Amino acid sequence: MPRESLTYRELQLLYSDPRSFATEHDGLRISLMEEIGVPQGWVIEGRLSLEIWNNINTIAIPMTIRMGRLSTEEEIVKQSFQATREEYGRDAFYIIFKDGESEFGWTSIAVLPADLEKDAETLVLEGLRAKEDGDDFLDEMKRAAFIISSG
């Protein structure tokens, strides 16, 4: 169960140093997750590699499925995540990021670490191809990588 809300100091840390925020809150579920509709079972992943963090240029919080015994709802979330990884890549991970175009100002979606290293034009073109192929989820993944990597 998340705390009621983040403190002023925690929000300052999130906005100034998302990596430190994630490290300090590793394994926790925060109120922001509830507010934007992240399903139960997701918690902060504070052990993301420095290599990936070096490509994150916006306010973002990586997530993982919590460890231990899962409820039925959480087990469904875990299976959905596994299906995402099977379809798009075993190294896909979910992340919450600041998104001015979303209803709540934040978005959560899977991204691929390799996409965070691509230039903007490549991501846009790959997103267009995905959309043409009818894969709206992959298009959204490319959009997310674009925002996260470009800041």
Quick one: CA dihedral 51, 115, 15, 23, positive or negative?
A: negative
Long-range CB contact pairs, 64-73, < 8 A, 24+: 64/93, 64/94, 65/41, 66/27, 66/29, 66/41, 66/42, 67/27, 70/41, 71/40, 71/41, 73/39, 73/40, 73/41
pLDDT at 73: 84
What pLDDT is attached to residue 119? 96
- Average pLDDT of the chain, as a whole number: 93
- Residue 106: what are its φ and ψ, rounded to 5°? -135, 150
Predicted local distance difference test score (pLDDT) of residue 3: 55
Q: What pLDDT, on the 0 to 100 scale, is given for residue 52?
A: 96
For the entire predicted model, the pTM comes to: 0.90
Per-residue pLDDT tens for 54-100? Answer: 999 999 999 999 877 888 888 898 899 999 999 999 999 999 999 99
Nearest to 128 by CA among 119, 139, 144: 139
